[in-house]
């Protein structure tokens, strides 16, 4: 029995103005999932009105008070952990490990920003004895957050937590494919004491709802995670409206493995680059660059492990039908070019995986660095390997991309690891598996976008600076 989910506006469930609901799909089985409100411009306007009335009082609370509410939201997500797991599992088919990671991280965002917001403050400026001058970090007011379908609750939490921590009110529009955990988040936030209107969630498509939301004159900032094409369109709207935007877009991130690397760990990391969320992560490391002398050996080890991965327990399906077709389109293109994958390269034709949108984890070995497979973001479990000759060659290939989201380097020569990390043109680089966490700022160079999420940098993106100067003249 499927359920219907309404919007969450001004602290309560609100039916869509259209009276209509949109179907969703369970990607692991292709069965119908729950239905979501089909939002339109009228719903966007209602949510914006709620946020507009709510943010000033919220912003006037102390950082300790706001932080406390964020902590209570974190506790509430934890208390409803299993519900989040099951809703997210239905919408995405993710593995237990991936679901646990994502929900834990969502909790961590609220805890982290609930704490660090208490240190978030302006500075005093020495203006001599005749004035007292200081800065304040003030919210924009009403912020529109638009998120994609690959890490649903996680990406909503990543943007919402810092935005509300600094005193904004938010209208969140999650992807129409994976909205339900965001609606639940908003309900729990209200129950946890977040004032009505500070977090509103409206559901529906980009064309009908998202575009109306970003065009609303009361929206003073946009945070978007998604495709380059939509990011570009939203950047144009933001430019025209003279409002700032954070854009977290695609990637084609390199993992660079030198011959002296800890191979067990490097191979495991290369496999997990396409296994985790079936490669549907903008920061997935999908270009494996290996030093020539060990290329074939490393590829053989990666291929062996990839060929053992089982659909279901080890990796989930592709989350949307359009994306499934897109990934299979790359396989067809490669076959047409005469490229044979070392493993994978097809959908499943039998067994339970054939019922869902599963594609085989795939490795194309020894691909030319400028091949379409090595240049375009496939957003599926597809790895290409490219040999390199030396450090300069590795850096050149790593940077031979329109993107610049993350990079990874594996070498026992730590100085070389740091040199290469500093030369990779990307927002986040990990050396020998160094962890990238809620504390580490995240965002793109080049076509991977601009602005930063995570870390205290995200709070700065959601705040604007005001200078205040008081004459001390008697
Ligand atoms: P994908 O193609 O991977 O679904 P999109 O970038 O199109 O990625 O979608 C990411 C998010 O952006 C989703 O929430 C989607 O509904 C929304 N979106 C898509 N087009 C627009 C648009 N023109 N205006 C606002 N939001 C949009």
Verify whether ligand 1 is closer than 6 Å to residue 225 (CB atom).
Answer: no
Strand partners, 429: 407
257 CB-side CA count, 13 A:
31
Q: How far apart are CA 92 and CA 455, in angstroms?
A: 27
What confidence tens digit (pLDDT) does each residue in 158-179 have? 999 999 999 999 999 999 999 9
Q: Is 233 in the pocket of ligand 1 (CB under 6 A)?
A: yes
The yes-or-no verdict on residue 446 having pLDDT over 90 is yes
pLDDT at 285 over 80: yes
204/17 Cα distance (integer angstroms): 12
> Which ligand 1 atom sits nearest the alpha carbon of residue 173?
14
Please provide the size of the chain in residues.
474
Pocket mutation for ligand 1, best pick of 44, 206, 232 (most atoms within 8 Å of C-beta): 206
Convert the pLDDT of each residue in 21-50 to its tens digit: 999 999 999 999 999 999 999 999 999 999
The gap between the terminal CA atoms of the chain, to the nearest Å, is 74
Q: What is the pLDDT of residue 309?
A: 98
Q: Which residues are catalytic?
A: 150, 248, 282, 453
- The pTM of the full predicted model, rounded to 2 decimals, is 0.98
Q: Can you state the angle between helices 152-165 and 180-191, rounded to 10 degrees?
A: 40
Instruction: Please tell me the residue having the least CA distance from ligand 1 atom 2.
Output: 227
Question: How do strand 124-125 and strand 35-37 relate by DSSP bridges?
Answer: unpaired
Instruction: Enter the tokens of residue 338.
Output: 């005469």
Q: What residue owns the CA closest to ligand 1's atom 13?
A: 175
Give the residues across from 206 on adjacent strands. none
Span from the CA of 148 to the centroid of ligand 1 (angstroms):
7
Which of 429, 431, 432 lies closest to 443 in space, CA to CA?
429
Q: 274 in ligand 1 pocket by Cβ < 6 Å?
A: no
Are 80 and 189 a contacting pair, CB within 8 Å? no
**Can you give the pLDDT at residue 1?**
77
Question: Could you tell me what percent of the chain has a pLDDT over 70?
Answer: 100
| Cα 221–chain centre separation | 18
């Amino acid at each position: 029995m499927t359920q219907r989910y309404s919007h969450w506006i001004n602290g309560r469930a609100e039916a869509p103005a259209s009276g209509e609901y949109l179907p969703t799909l369970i990607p692991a089985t292709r069965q119908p999932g729950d239905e979501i409100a089909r939002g339109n411009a009228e719903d966007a306007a209602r949510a914006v009105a709620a946020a507009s009335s709510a943010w000033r009082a919220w912003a006037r609370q102390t950082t300790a008070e706001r932080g406390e509410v964020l902590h209570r939201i974190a506790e509430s997500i934890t208390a409803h952990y299993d519900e989040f797991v099951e809703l997210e599992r239905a919408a995405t088919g993710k593995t237990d490990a991936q679901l646990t990671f994502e929900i834990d991280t969502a909790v961590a965002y609220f805890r982290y920003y609930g704490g660090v917001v208490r240190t978030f403050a302006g500075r005093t400026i020495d203006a001599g004895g005749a004035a007292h001058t200081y800065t304040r970090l003030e919210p924009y007011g009403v912020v529109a957050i638009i998120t994609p379908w690959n890490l649903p609750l996680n990406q909503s939490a990543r943007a919402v937590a810092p935005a509300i921590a600094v005193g904004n009110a938010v209208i969140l529009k999650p992807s129409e494919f994976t909205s339900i955990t965001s609606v639940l988040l908003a309900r729990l936030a209200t129950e946890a004491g977040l004032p009505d209107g500070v977090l509103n969630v409206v559901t529906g498509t980009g064309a009908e709802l998202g575009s109306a939301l970003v065009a609303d004159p009361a929206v003073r900032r946009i945070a978007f995670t998604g495709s380059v094409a939509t990011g570009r369109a939203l950047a144009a709207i933001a430019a025209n409206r003279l409002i700032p935007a954070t854009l977290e877009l695609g990637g084609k991130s390199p993992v660079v493995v030198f011959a002296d690397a800890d191979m067990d760990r490097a191979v495991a990391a290369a496999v997990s680059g396409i296994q985790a969320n079936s490669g549907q992560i903008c920061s997935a490391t999908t270009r494996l660059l290996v030093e020539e002398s060990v290329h074939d050996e490393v590829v053989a080890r990666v291929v062996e492990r990839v060929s053992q991965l089982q659909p279901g327990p080890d990796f989930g399906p592709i989350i949307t039908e359009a994306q499934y077709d897109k990934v299979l389109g790359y396989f067809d293109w490669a076959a047409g070019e005469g490229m044979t994958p070392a493993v994978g390269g097809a959908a499943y034709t039998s067994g339970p995986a054939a019922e869902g949108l599963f594609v085989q984890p795939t490795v194309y070995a020894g691909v030319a660095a400028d091949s379409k497979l090595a240049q375009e973001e496939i957003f599926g479990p597809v790895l290409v390997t490219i040999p390199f000759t030396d450090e300069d060659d590795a850096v050149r290939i790593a940077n031979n991309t329109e993107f610049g989201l993350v990079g990874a380097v594996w070498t026992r020569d730590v100085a070389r690891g740091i040199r290469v990390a500093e030369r990779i043109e990307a927002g986040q680089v990990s050396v020998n598996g160094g962890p990238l966490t809620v504390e580490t700022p995240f965002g793109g160079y080049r076509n991977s976008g601009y602005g930063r999420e995570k870390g205290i940098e995200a709070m700065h993106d959601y705040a604007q600076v005001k200078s205040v100067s008081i004459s001390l003249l008697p």
